[in-house]
Amino acid sequence: MARFEVPEVDYTRYSNRQLAAIPLVVLTVALLVIGGAYATTGAPVDPGLDFTGGTELRVAVDAPSDTQAREDIREAFTATPDSIQRVGTSDVYIVTFQTEGSETAQNEFTRQLESEAGEAGFDVRSIEGVGAAFGSETQQRALIGVVAAFAGMAALVFALFRTFVPSIAVVISAFSDIVIPVALMNALGIELTLGTVAALLMLIGYSVDSDILLNNSVLRRSGDFYESTYRAMRTGVTMTLTSIAAMAVMAIVASFFGIGLLASIGTILVFGLVADLMNTYLLNVSLLRWYKFEGVAR
């Protein structure tokens, strides 16, 4: 049976600045992408139906080709669809419309879409509407949830280590692990929904787990700095790579079957976990090594 072995990295070949350079450059680029998105759209990432309000239809379309089906869908409705997604290789399509207005207007718009779909000969499998006011409230609650989770994580980390540099290393790594996937969501066109918010919250947990494992091994266990780092890497890298493989499989399978939410969650987690490997074993290691040999712990 094949066994995976984590290779031992010779950190002595690199200075702390060299180790920290790549994660910091990637983080800077990610922040610029998010800043650019916010400047142009007013949001750090494109919000989905859960946060903007609108209607989602699942319709079966009898058409000879995917191109023809999409054209038939656009012609069937007086309103312009915000997005049209095919479910796997089936004849079912997910059509979304973003709307503004009161709940009464939203309900009337939903009934109109259902009527137009029936007149076009589409088989309406499901229809769901979200009011703009409810979507805005949901967006605020999701933002509060992410901020509260991050603040709670930071407080717990500072309470555990009670020293600034090791604690701030964990917090910076967790922050970067969230920012990088959010930037990639802009690049890949993944919308911010309740599901993708849950994925970002999961990344906080993954990040803290690997970083605390490293910090504990270096600061609280006996042994040379590099021996302690490798000991933590053997466990941390194995766990993270296993999670990456599982999330990649989920994203691929979900994409094949047209389950957009699971595909988005899997994609975000894959990129976030890859970022976690970089931040933990480059940025965090550089800060811990500086703390151990050059900082206040000297």
**What pLDDT is stored for residue 22 in this prediction?**
95
User: For residues 149 and 207, what is the distance between their CA atoms, to the nearest angstrom?
Assistant: 13
Domain boundaries, the chain: 11-46+135-293, 54-130
Fold classification of 54-130 is Alpha-Beta Plaits (3.30.70)
Amino acid of residue 68: Q
Contact by Cβ (8 Å): 57, 117: yes
Q: Phi and psi at residue 25, in whole multiples of 5°?
A: -65, -45
Task: Kindly give, in sequence order, each residue whose CB lies less than 8 Å from that of residue 209, ignoring residues fewer than 6 positions away.
Answer: 239
pLDDT tens sequence across 45-55 = 888 777 777 78
Question: Which pLDDT band holds residue 4 (cuts at 50, 70, 90)?
Answer: low
Question: Which pLDDT band holds residue 100 (cuts at 50, 70, 90)?
Answer: low
Same-fold call for 11-46+135-293 versus 54-130: no
pLDDT tens sequence across 185-238 = 999 988 888 889 999 999 998 888 899 999 999 888 777 899 999 999 999 999
pLDDT tens sequence across 125-147 = 888 776 655 566 777 787 888 88
Contact by Cβ (8 Å): 231, 223: yes
**What pLDDT is stored for residue 24 in this prediction?**
95
The tokens describing 92, both together, are 């079912």
Mean of per-residue pLDDT scores for the chain: 86
Contact by Cβ (8 Å): 57, 126: yes
Lowest mean pLDDT segment, chosen from 87-91, 114-118, 151-155, 234-238: 87-91
pLDDT tens sequence across 26-44 = 999 999 999 998 898 888 8
Closest residue by Cα to residue 173 from 35, 36, 265, 286: 286
Contact by Cβ (8 Å): 272, 178: yes
Query: For the domain bounded by 11-46+135-293, which CATH number is listed?
Result: 1.20.1640.10
pTM: 0.81
Q: Which residues pair with 245 in a beta bridge?
A: none
Rounded to 5°, the CA angle 255-258-263 comes to 40
Rounded to 5°, the CA angle 224-210-30 comes to 115
* Position with higher pLDDT, 96 vs 248: 248
Rounded to 5°, the CA angle 90-246-268 comes to 75
**What pLDDT is stored for residue 156 in this prediction?**
86
* Position with higher pLDDT, 282 vs 156: 282
Helices (H), 77-131: 103-119
Beta-sheet strand order (sheet of 83-86): 83-86, 92-98, 54-60, 123-130
**What pLDDT is stored for residue 1 in this prediction?**
39
Q: How many CB atoms lie within 10 A of CB 211?
A: 29
Which string of b and e fits 89-112 if b means at least 16 CB within 10 Å? eebbbbbbbbbeeeeeebeebbee
Q: Phi and psi at residue 103, in whole multiples of 5°?
A: -65, -35
Rounded to 5°, the CA angle 120-122-124 comes to 130
Lowest mean pLDDT segment, chosen from 244-248, 270-274, 277-281, 293-297: 293-297
**What pLDDT is stored for residue 44 in this prediction?**
85
